[in-house]
Chain A
Amino acid sequence: MAEERSYRHGARAIVPLAIAVFGFGVSYGVLAETAGMGSLAPIVMSTTTFAGSAQFAAASVLAAGGAAATAVAAALLLNARYAPIGVTVAPWITGGVWSRLLHAHLMVDESWAVAAEGGGRWNPKVLVAAGLGIWIAWVGGTVIGVAFGDVIGDPNRLGLDAAFPALFLALLAPQVRDRAPREAAFAGAAIGLVLTPFTPAGVPIVAASLGALLGLRRSEP
Chain B
Amino acid sequence: MSAVWTVVVVTGVGTLALKAAGPVLLGGRPLPDRAARVATLLGPALLAALVAIGTFAEGERLVVDDRLLGVAAAAVAIRMRAPVLLVVVIAAAVTGGYRALT
Report which A residues bind B (CB closer than 8 A). 13, 15-17, 20, 36-38, 41, 44-45, 48-51, 54-55, 58, 62, 67-68, 71-72, 75-76, 79-91, 93-95, 97, 100-101, 103-105, 107, 109, 113-114, 116, 119-120, 156-173, 175-176, 180-182, 184-193, 196-197, 199-201, 204-205, 208-213, 215-216, 219
Q: A197 touching B61 by the CB < 8 A rule?
A: yes
* Distance to closest chain A CB from B78 (angstroms): 5
* Distance to closest chain B CB from A64 (angstroms): 13
Q: A176 touching B52 by the CB < 8 A rule?
A: no
Interface residues on B, range: 35 or more
Which of A36, A158, A161, A204 has the most CB atoms of chain B within a 10 A radius of its CB? A161
Give the chain B neighbours of A79 by CB distance below 8 A. Answer: 14-15, 18-19
Given the known interface contacts A16-B89, A181-B40, A215-B44, the answer about A86 and B19 at a Cβ–Cβ threshold of 8 Å is: yes
Cα A174 to Cα B84 with chains together (Å): 11
Q: B47 touching A101 by the CB < 8 A rule?
A: no
Neighbour of B54 across the interface among A104, A156, A158, A168, CB < 8 A: A168
Neighbour of B60 across the interface among A93, A103, A188, A197, CB < 8 A: A197
Q: B44 touching A181 by the CB < 8 A rule?
A: yes
* Distance to closest chain B CB from A33 (angstroms): 11
Q: B23 touching A185 by the CB < 8 A rule?
A: no
Q: A67-B3, A165-B52 are in contact. List 19 more A-B contacts (CB 8 A).
A: A16-B89, A45-B7, A62-B4, A79-B18, A89-B22, A156-B99, A162-B91, A165-B50, A166-B88, A168-B47, A169-B78, A173-B78, A184-B45, A185-B45, A188-B52, A204-B53, A209-B42, A211-B41, A211-B49
Give the chain B neighbours of A176 by CB distance below 8 A. Answer: 44
Neighbour of A49 across the interface among B12, B37, B78, CB < 8 A: B12
Q: B45 touching A208 by the CB < 8 A rule?
A: yes
* Distance to closest chain B CB from A57 (angstroms): 10
9 A-B pairs whose Cβ atoms sit less than 8 Å apart in the complex: A71-B7, A90-B28, A91-B36, A101-B20, A105-B19, A105-B20, A172-B44, A211-B44, A213-B41
Neighbour of B7 across the interface among A68, A89, A167, CB < 8 A: A68
Q: A212 touching B91 by the CB < 8 A rule?
A: no
Cα A135 to Cα B56 with chains together (Å): 26
Query: What is the chain A residue whose CB lies nearest that of B91?
Result: A166
Give the chain B neighbours of A71 by CB distance below 8 A. Answer: 7, 11
Cα A20 to Cα B5 with chains together (Å): 27
